[in-house]
Amino acid sequence: MSSPTAISLRKWDSTPQNTKELEIVTKISDLGNPGLVKSFLGVYVSFYVGKPWTLDNQNAYNFSISYRQNTGKPFIPVAHFISGNYSGTSQGERNERIHFESPIPVKNIQLQLKSVYLKGDVLINDFGLMYRTKRTISSTTHDE
C-alpha cells in the first residue's frame, strides 16, 4: 500500500493588489503545423481598466510581450504597453494590436507577457499572436 500524497489547496482572493512583477508564459507551440514555417505578423492583448485615473484612484500599467522560438534562447521583446499617469486615462476594456512592419518567420513560438508595474484596477484578460502559414511559390512550364 502506498503512502498518502500531500495536497496543497489555495483560496482565490479577489482583493486588488499592487504588484511590481507579473509574468505569464505560454507553452511552446508549433501552431498545429510542425514542419511549416509561419509568418508571425503581430501581437494583441485584451485588458480592462476599472476606473479612470484620478488622484484617489491611480490605475497604472507597464507591460511588454516578447517571444522566442526555442526554450534555450532569451525572449525577444516585440510590444510594450504603458499607461500615462495623468487625469483622463479612460476606463473599460481595451484591445490593443501591434502589427509588425515585416513578418517574422517561425516554426515554433512561445510568448511571454511581463509586467514591471501594475497598480489599481487593471485586469489582463487575454494575449496572443497573429500569424499565417508562410506562402511558398511554385511554378511550372506548360508547353503545347
Domains and CATH numbers, the chain: 22-133 (2.60.120)
43-79 residue pLDDT tens: 988 888 777 666 666 677 788 899 999 888 999 999 8
Classified as helix, coil or strand, 141 is: coil
Q: Could you give the C-alpha distances from 26 to 5, 43, 129, in angstroms and in order?
A: 28, 13, 11
pTM assigned to the model = 0.72
98-110 residue pLDDT tens: 888 899 999 999 9
Which residues lie below 8 Å from residue 129, measured CB to CB, with a gap of 6+?
40, 41, 42, 43, 44, 67, 109, 111
Q: Taking CA 62 as the corner, what is the angle to CA 61 and CA 63, rounded to the nearest 5 degrees?
A: 115
